[in-house]
Amino acid sequence: MYVCVCNGVTDNDIRREVDAGCTSVSELTMRTGAGASCGSCIQLADTLIGNMLAAKHELPVIRNRHVGSLPYNHQRTIG
Q: Which is nearer to ligand FES, 37 or 75 (CB)?
A: 37
Q: Which is nearer to ligand FES, 38 or 54 (CB)?
A: 38
Q: Which is nearer to ligand FES, 25 or 52 (CB)?
A: 25
User: Which residue ranges make up the site for ligand FES (CB under 6 A)?
Assistant: 4-7, 34-41
Residues 62, 51: Cα–Cα separation, whole Å: 9
Closest distance of CB 37 from ligand FES, Å: 4
DSSP string, 20-66: TT--SHHHHHHHH-TTSSS-TTHHHHHHHHHHHHHHHHT-PPP-S-B
Closest distance of CB 59 from ligand FES, Å: 26
Closest distance of CB 46 from ligand FES, Å: 12
Residues 8, 79: Cα–Cα separation, whole Å: 25
